[in-house]
Structure 1
């Protein structure tokens, strides 16, 4: 496990899983949200974004969390392990609400770029509510050709068990 990609609906806990896995493995964490969003929640140029992800994915060791479907291919081709947090809409939506309301005006533990403070974003919340219906199949299709170790977790409890077992192995 040298290059780990963590994907799933917003609110599934990708960043938390990345931090926990980093504590266990010593691998560096790359939060894609931090690299994607420019100050004031401005989206980057698509070509510049893809080049940045390719640069990040070329590093020898990492844990990279975030979906960003347009950059699945370069990350999947570089990763040796893929964690798919395939949690229910209820779990993800409730976590997004809790995270948003509890962190308004903050930087979400350093996961966000400079000038991007936590905010209420109804279109984003709608995306979370619609993810399983509108984006999950696209993501599953992209993952279907992954040649490395694919680990799918359907509940936070499954993920926690995996991380605890990994930590116990030392």
Structure 2
């Protein structure tokens, strides 16, 4: 892996595979894995207050190396400039919504490994609404934040599961590849 990609940020829609990709990147590269959901959510699905959350994220991004997954728009201004590489999973709803439903069925009532203790998997109308609206709302804000804050860092945009698999194969073969033009 090139020494310049020591901080990798993975962002995208719910159900796009952020945590799965981050876990695999960390395994292949040996970089520490940071699931932001594990830090943000306190037991019982209680969110961390904004000021405290920004402080936690500032400490996390100050580390010399990481693979970090999660959107959390209120801290993109801290994370994007700190990243050497941004992987934007830009998959369509027809992929993400079934994945979220399968994840819910698999983990319903139990904790996923990428979440804090006592946060059993759940699915509610607010999350489904956000997921449905993501392509026309949150996706654009995320893309704008990347454009505004990436400061010339590499950005890899992956739009299909096949692109994700091929990109990961390239990482396994020769380290983290450069972004596509």
TM-score by length of 2: 0.91
1:19 Cα deviation after fit: 0.8
1:151 Cα deviation after fit: 0.3
Matches of 2:10 and 2:78, distance apart in 1: 14
1:160 Cα deviation after fit: 0.7
Which residue among 86, 89, 95 is the counterpart of 2:93? 89
Matches of 1:85 and 1:120, distance apart in 2: 21
**Structure 1 position 122 matched with structure 2 position 142:** no
Matches of 1:26 and 1:61, distance apart in 2: 10
Residue aligning to 1:168: 173
Matches of 1:58 and 1:28, distance apart in 2: 13
Matches of 2:93 and 2:76, distance apart in 1: 22
Residue aligning to 1:152: 157
**Which contiguous aligned blocks of 4+ residues in structure 1 show a shift greater than 6 angstroms?**
none
Which residue among 142, 156, 163 is the counterpart of 2:145? 142
Residue aligning to 1:12: 16
Matches of 1:46 and 1:22, distance apart in 2: 27
Which residue among 48, 54, 66 is the counterpart of 1:50? 54
Residue aligning to 2:136: 133
- Which ranges in structure 1 are unaligned for 5 or more consecutive residues? none
Matches of 1:47 and 1:54, distance apart in 2: 11
**Structure 1 position 40 matched with structure 2 position 44:** yes
Residue aligning to 1:80: 84
Give the aligned CA root-mean-square deviation in angstroms: 0.9
TM-score by length of 1: 0.96
Matches of 2:144 and 2:174, distance apart in 1: 32
- Which ranges in structure 2 are unaligned for 5 or more consecutive residues? 176-181
Matches of 1:100 and 1:136, distance apart in 2: 22
1:120 Cα deviation after fit: 2.4
1:34-56 Cα distance to aligned partner (Å, 9 max, x none): 00001100111100001100100
1:62 Cα deviation after fit: 0.1
